[in-house]
């Protein structure tokens, strides 16, 4: 029987157990294949949630009031949706409902692993992940506004919805984009990008045509920066699901918008997009490419609107990781020292939305992750010893709203303990990392487990290591 965790619906007198889905500690658990019912599948394809809500309530024996509370909808709205008097069209609300009820993205028309842009376009252009020189040249051209860049061709890389015609946009329309982007970001941090990436990309498709709609001149820069921020987030989500070429195409769209928006934060968002690109390059094992992207980002800040301290700090942090990946300890320390100085000057009340994640916890992650990268390059126990307390300090503060980050850095902490020579702790933390990774939807996090398996390989004869490596191999390889 369908249930709330292992217990009946709360309006039947028993409290449900906690979950990580952001629903106040409740989790809706439905039978396997619940949404495969042809009638429910057809309703989801139409975004008709009336039949869905009714069936879920029958299965869970819940009232409209209780289910509505979990979904962020009042009882009157629930009643209208179930009776076909109202549709659920707000993207942020659809995201929330889909995640609380465990609706597969494909049932909503958002195919997991979707290719951003047509196959024909990809064949003509080739992969920006493989064609590194072309990618750097395009990024440089877009960043500095060189002539000959066909920005409309970049927009075409994401198939767009129908033209908005003569529709007039106002501030409330832009606010919807901003709020939805914030929702995607929170969900991404809590669960990984798997459940949400395709929905966010679909939203970007629907937003891009709005750039041609009628809007007050003073509001247009805000619309462009909001759309560029959404492109930044969808690009990062594609990176998290290791769809690297899609990530680069989405970031290029954001780059073109941020550059042209004439918004005070345009330069800052441009540099932050380059930070994400550089982070991807480090992940792909291309530290030289990452450093080139960092330099472009730093140069983009020259002008009337300098970089925020938080974005400058992020660039220094990824620069340190790139130097660590090259085994250059001195350059790594210089970049980390610069990052610390920049962090000290951050006005935490005035951070741009893309820099909201940067706090003392994240600074420890940047430092600890960098020293771990340096330790891996040379298998240096001293660098690993520096990484351990920093990563432990950060992990002790990660809450359920940052489950993906906890999964990533538990793997790093286990590897740092192993290189530092504390094998028993490395094994214990490694098991914790494996459990944390399998609880989120982040292919990138599985990559950290594979890296941990490699770090542990020379220690395969130590007690406990063989068992852990067997679990890692079965799960992540």
Q: What does the pLDDT read at residue 44? A: 85
- Greatest CA separation for the chain: 70
| Domains, the chain, ordered by start | 10-90 (1.10.260)
d(C-alpha 188, C-alpha 349), whole Å: 23
Residue reference for tokens 């073109």: 256
pTM: 0.75
Q: Average pLDDT across each block of 10 residues of the chain; the chain has 477 residues. List them in order.
A: 37 34 55 88 85 92 89 90 82 73 70 38 52 72 58 55 63 92 90 88 87 89 95 96 92 89 90 96 95 90 75 93 95 94 84 74 88 93 96 90 92 97 97 95 94 94 92 85
Q: What is the DSSP string of 94-125?
A: HHHHHHHTT--GGGGT--TT--SS-HHHHHHH
> Do the Cβ atoms of 228 and 254 come closer than 8 Å?
yes
Q: Which residues contact 456 (CB under 8 A, 6 or more apart)?
A: 415, 418, 426, 430, 465, 468, 469, 472
Q: What does the pLDDT read at residue 476? A: 72
């Amino acid at each position: 029987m369908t249930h709330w965790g292992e217990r009946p619906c709360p309006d039947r007198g028993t409290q449900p157990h906690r979950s990580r889905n952001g629903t106040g500690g409740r989790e809706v658990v439905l039978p396997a294949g619940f949404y495969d019912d042809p009638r429910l599948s057809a309703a989801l394809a139409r975004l008709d949630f009336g039949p869905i809500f009714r069936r879920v309530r029958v299965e869970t024996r819940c009232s409209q009031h209780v289910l509505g509370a979990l979904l962020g909808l009042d009882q009157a709205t629930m009643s209208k949706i179930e009776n076909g008097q109202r549709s659920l069209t707000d993207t942020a609300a659809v995201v929330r409902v889909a995640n609380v009820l465990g609706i597969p993205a494909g049932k909503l028309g958002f195919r997991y692993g979707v290719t951003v842009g047509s196959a024909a376009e990809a064949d003509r252009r080739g992969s920006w992940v493989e064609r590194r020189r072309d990618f750097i040249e395009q990024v440089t051209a877009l960043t500095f506004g060189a002539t000959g860049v066909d920005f409309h061709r970049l927009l075409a890389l994401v198939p767009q919805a129908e033209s908005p015609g003569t529709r007039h946009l106002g501030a409330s329309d832009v606010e919807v984009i901003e709020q939805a982007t914030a929702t995607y970001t929170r969900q991404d941090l809590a669960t990984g990008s798997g459940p949400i990436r395709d929905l966010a990309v679909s939203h970007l498709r629907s937003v891009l045509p709005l750039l041609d709609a009628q809007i007050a001149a003073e509001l247009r820069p805000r619309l462009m920066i909001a759309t560029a921020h959404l492109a930044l987030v969808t690009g990062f989500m594609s990176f998290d699901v290791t769809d690297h070429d899609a990530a680069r195409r989405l970031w290029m769209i954001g780059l073109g918008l941020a550059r042209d928006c004439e918004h005070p934060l345009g330069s800052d968002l441009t540099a932050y997009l380059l930070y994400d690109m550089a982070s991807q390059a480090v992940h792909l094992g291309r530290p030289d490419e990452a450093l080139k992207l960092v330099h472009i980002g730093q140069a983009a800040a020259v002008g009337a609107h300098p970089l925020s301290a938080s974005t400058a700090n992020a660039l220094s942090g990824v620069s340190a990781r790139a130097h660590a990946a090259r085994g250059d300890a001195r350059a790594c320390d210089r970049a980390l020292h610069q990052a610390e100085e920049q962090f000290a000057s951050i006005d935490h009340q005035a951070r741009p939305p893309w820099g909201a994640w940067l706090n003392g916890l994240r600074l420890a992650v940047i430092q600890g992750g960098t020293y771990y990268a340096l330790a891996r390059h040379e298998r240096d126990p001293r660098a690993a010893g520096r990484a351990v307390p920093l990563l432990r300090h950060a992990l002790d503060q990660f809450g359920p709203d940052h489950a993906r980050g906890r999964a990533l850095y538990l793997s790093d902490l286990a590897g740092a303990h192993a290189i530092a020579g504390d094998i028993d702790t490395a094994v214990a933390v490694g098991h914790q990392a494996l459990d944390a990774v399998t609880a989120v939807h982040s292919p990138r996090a599985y990559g950290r487990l594979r890296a941990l398996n490699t770090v542990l390989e020379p220690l395969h004869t130590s007690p406990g290591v063989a068992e852990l490596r067997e679990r890692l191999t079965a799960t992540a390889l």
